[in-house]
Amino acid sequence: MTPDYWAQAKRSLARSDPTLARIMRRHPGIALKRRGKPFFTLARAIVGQQISVKAADSVWRRFVDTVEAVEPGPVLETSRPALLACGLSRRKAEYIFDLARHFSSGVIDPGSWTLLADEAVIERLTDVRGIGRWTAEMFLIFNMLRPNVLPLDDLGLQRAIRLNYFSGRKTSAAAIKRLARNWEPWRSVATWYLWRSLDPVPVEY
């Protein structure tokens, strides 16, 4: 499912930011899509924490091959040694088990979050062990399809901004925030295209 705001966001960003307009022209015919259920998205984001996209893809493929299905029940039935054998760190395996328990018990119920503001969703998710702000922001972008998320801590976004706007020079979070004001209310879309400037193949969350 592609967000219904995508075409409008692209037109708006192209008018306001020539750099983004150029990136978007280089990547026609692709868009953000919701690919999985909430548990799938969060588990995939946990796997991707603090490692490269390539490494995360490798671990994720082995994880999917190991569990019966990427759902809370089958994950809880999978042994810890089996998860560790996928390449997950001990801590990430614990986080995914804890996430599965939260879903199974109903403590996490994303279906009831539709009307919540972005920060309220982040607050609920970061109450769960192993879910920090970055993981919650990935959930907002890839599962809830929220249009105006700016994941400041994302290393890929930081690198793309350095390369596309600052000639590769290191820049501060404050400078990124100032730049991103020009992208509102479509910062998720701007972020997604900046990721494409580094890797044309979208990550599947």
User: Each residue of 125-138: pLDDT tens digit?
Assistant: 998 888 999 989 99
pLDDT exceeds 70 at position 185: yes
For residue 76, what pLDDT band results from cuts at 50, 70 and 90? very high
Mean pLDDT, rounded, of the chain: 93
The pLDDT assigned to 203 comes to: 73
> Model's pTM, two decimal places?
0.87
Per-residue pLDDT at 95 = 95
- Tell me what pLDDT residue 205 has: 67
Q: Which of 32, 36, 34, 52 is nearest to 44 (CA)?
A: 36
| Domains of the chain by start residue, with CATH | 6-30+149-198 (1.10.1670.40), 38-142 (1.10.340.30)
pLDDT of res. 102: 93
Higher pLDDT residue, 198 or 35? 198
Confidence class for position 36, pLDDT limits 50, 70, 90: confident
How much of the chain exceeds pLDDT 90, in percent? 81
User: 178 pLDDT band (50/70/90 cuts)?
Assistant: very high
Which tokens hold the place of 74?
A: 């089958």
pLDDT digits (tens, 9 = 90+) for 44-68: 989 988 888 889 999 999 999 999 8
Residue 200: asked if its preceding bond is cis (omega within 30°), the reply is no
- The closest of 83, 100, 92, 85 to 51, measured between CA atoms, is 92
Does residue 18 surpass a pLDDT of 80? yes
Q: Is the pLDDT of residue 204 over 80?
A: no
Q: What is the mean pLDDT of residues 103-115?
A: 91
For the chain, the C-alpha Rg in angstroms (whole number) is 17
Alpha-helix runs per DSSP H in the chain: 6-16, 18-26, 38-47, 53-66, 72-76, 80-85, 90-105, 118-125, 133-142, 155-165, 173-180, 187-198
59 CB-contact burial (10 Å; exposed 0-12 / middle 13-18 / buried 19+): middle
178: number of Cβ within 10 Å: 11
Residue 35 to residues 12, 42, 170, Cα–Cα distance (Å): 25, 12, 33
